[in-house]
Chains A and B, each alone.
Chain A
Amino acid sequence: MTAASVTTRASAIRRWSWLSRPRMAGSPAVLPAMLSLPVVLWQAVFFAAPLVFLVVVTFWQVRSFRLEPAFVLDNWSRILFSATFQRALLHTFAVASTTTVLAVALAFPAAYTIAFRLTPRMRDLAVAFLIVPIFSSYMLRIYAWQIVLSPEGMANAVLGSIGIGPLPLLGGAFSLQVGLLTLSLPIAVLILVFAMAGIDRTLVEAAENLGCRRGRVILHVVVPSVRPAIALAATTSFLLAFGDYISPLFMTGSKPPTLSILIVDTVKSGSQWPRASVIGVAMLVMLALALGLGQWLARGRTARREDAR
């Protein structure tokens, strides 16, 4: 027996050893296999396979309204070099970045107040209040903003009563950000609240006892402690704003179109599946880059220096 075959045998044993870990009674490999099989199959068929197929389709061709297997780069070059796609990409990127900055800037002070100024009971209530909108009726809430911000809506009625307006609130960058913040702000606040509630209070007290003013405590104790959470809140906000379809549709009437709008329009306007898939894959690549950047920022300068050593 050669050394190579021994090592492959050994690694094969190691690979399957998880199946036999709780070696108590019965056939020990059966339970984990039975538990993992349905989950893996389900996620493979209904999540992984569609995404893989999405990538494959970008190389296919449409001939006489039928999708045919092929290997052409035409779809990629057509989309990537089209002015519509490039404009939509820049616009979506700018919009999502704005939302990210606004969400973190607004969420930080709010989370600070919730984590440090509220009693535990009130804090739980605030957390409950923030979790509910994350899972309920985003589309309806955008529709409600449409009512509130419309020319004869409530916002203008209130502004009119103090002598301002009527302002064109709906249909521009302002209403788009209102919509995207409706989506991302609760999550951003929640992420920061959980991080800040975990900060060791003695650190804050120590800094105060050493004569630190509030601003310096926040800058030198709170911010470094919740740095990963800030990065997480920022990447989450970016992800949500970048991929959102509803706010651009209802708050600006899809003008100018974002990438999500472009995807749905391309799918709807006949059978241009491959091109819509190109846009989708391009979006996923950009989101992956954004997530990577977030991870890199989360680790902080000192951690990176230690890694480099």
Chain B
Amino acid sequence: MNARLATRVSRLAQFGFLGLLFLFIATPMLVIVVFSFDANRFPTIPWGGFSLEWHRAILADPMIRDAFVNSVLVGCGTAVLSTLLGFAAAYLDFRYRFRLKLPFVLLVAVPPAVPATILGMAMLAFLSRIGLFGRLETIMACHVAIATSFSMALIRLRLNDLSRDLEPAAWNLGASPTAALVHVVLPFCKPALIASFFLSAAVSFDEFLIAWFVGGVHETLPVRILNLLQGQVNPKINAIGAVVLVVSVALVLIAQRFTGVRAGRRNPNP
């Protein structure tokens, strides 16, 4: 009887702790969204009442609109390019054995592990010397260099489930390596390609340090927020924040919908 009570207390403690941890993770996101509808100028308790004032204010702000358009352009470009490059890298890693394979994989995989402050400074120093400073395309190119790592990981994970004999079978039936790639491998990777598209977009949509360094006068939305945050308290921040948060959460959720990433062993063909 006593042992059962101890088990119950222990379970309660475990779930209680987990609940607190999730609360810690969720609190800042909830705060942003809830206070964006607050009528008060300063976000405090008690809540000042429901208002869409600040959401309307950001729609009327041309700098914020420009930043949003920039973010969307950079995000879409990054999504397309890093999905293509990530697929190429993942397929090379899956299909071929070659010297310098480890350096090749590291070249693609490592960028997100380098602190963005250092990488941003390095990119600014180098790219301004070759005349690429201050363009929207440069922000995108730098985001691609980071996001390709995630694309490669997602697509490589999917390729793990591709039977190694499927391509040789296509070759035996007369398909060229390129035809086999297009008609066998690519369709198989479709969910991972979609996931990689949305995840890369999310990575780009969220990145601010590199965009801040190399963008010059072109501001993406997170850079606009960073500049607003360093100024005075501005109730618009919560409203833009809510928009950015909703967009990036949606992108990640869509990406997640298309990945088979799960903790624990499962039936491979459900």
Contact = CB atoms under 8 A, between A and B. Distances in A.
Interface of A: 14-15, 18-19, 21-22, 24-26, 28, 31-32, 35-36, 38-40, 42-51, 53-54, 57, 106, 109-110, 112-115, 117, 120, 123-124, 126-133, 135-145, 147-148, 152-154, 157, 181-182, 185-186, 189, 193-194, 197-198, 214, 239, 242-245, 250, 260, 263-264, 267, 273, 276-277, 280, 283-284, 287
Contacts, number: 255
A136 B115 contact: no
A152 B124 CA distance: 40
Interface of B: 10-11, 14-15, 17-18, 21-22, 24-25, 27-29, 31-32, 35, 43-45, 84-85, 88-89, 91-92, 95-99, 104, 107-108, 110-111, 113-119, 121-127, 129, 141-142, 144-145, 148, 167-168, 171, 174-178, 181, 199, 202-203, 206, 208-209, 222, 225-226, 229, 237, 241, 244-245, 248-249, 251-253, 256, 261-266
A51 B252 contact: no
Contacts of B256: 128, 131-132
A260 B111 contact: no
B25 A186 contact: yes
Given A50-B125, A139-B229, A197 B264 contact: yes
B199 A135 contact: yes
Contacts of A42: 85, 141, 144-145, 148
A148 B88 contact: no
**B interface, over-half SS:** helix
B97 A18 contact: yes
Secondary structure call for the A interface: helix
B231 to A, nearest CB: 13
9 contacts: A26-B177, A43-B108, A113-B14, A120-B266, A123-B263, A136-B249, A143-B229, A147-B44, A283-B115
A127 B98 CA distance: 35
